[in-house]
Amino acid sequence: MAKLRAHNLAVSLDGFGSGAGQSLQTPFGHAGTRLMEWYFPTPTFQGMTGDRERQAVDPAHEPDDVFARRSLEGIGAEIMGAGKFGPPGWQDDPEWRGWWGEEPPFHSPSSC
């Protein structure tokens, strides 16, 4: 198994991985959630966010869910950008709890 792999980066057809202008009101920038709309209805994402009602596999989302599940296999740790947790400057705000609240849905098994 590789020691490092890069994956799960959504990129638009014109080469952008995020919209410009990320802020508290626009967590994904001007592009909104368009790059990840395929992912949100998958049982994998719904299970990560606790939406138990939507975890049943809808045949229309099965190919996307297969990709979503495989993206989590063999991960020991993740490196994420600061923008995944808040708008520019969030690190300086002691009250900020992140886009995802106290318990982000992103977890990887720990080997430590």
Confidence of residue 55 (pLDDT cuts 50, 70, 90): low
Confidence of residue 1 (pLDDT cuts 50, 70, 90): low
Is 77 or 24 the better-scoring residue by pLDDT? 24
Is the predicted pLDDT of residue 111 greater than 60, yes or no? no
- DSSP readout, the chain? --S---------TTS-SS-S---SS-TTGGGTTGGGTTTTTSHHHHHHHT-GGG-S--GGGHHHHHHHHHTTTT-S-----GGGT-STTGGG-TT---TTTTS-S-------
Place of tokens 């966010």: 49
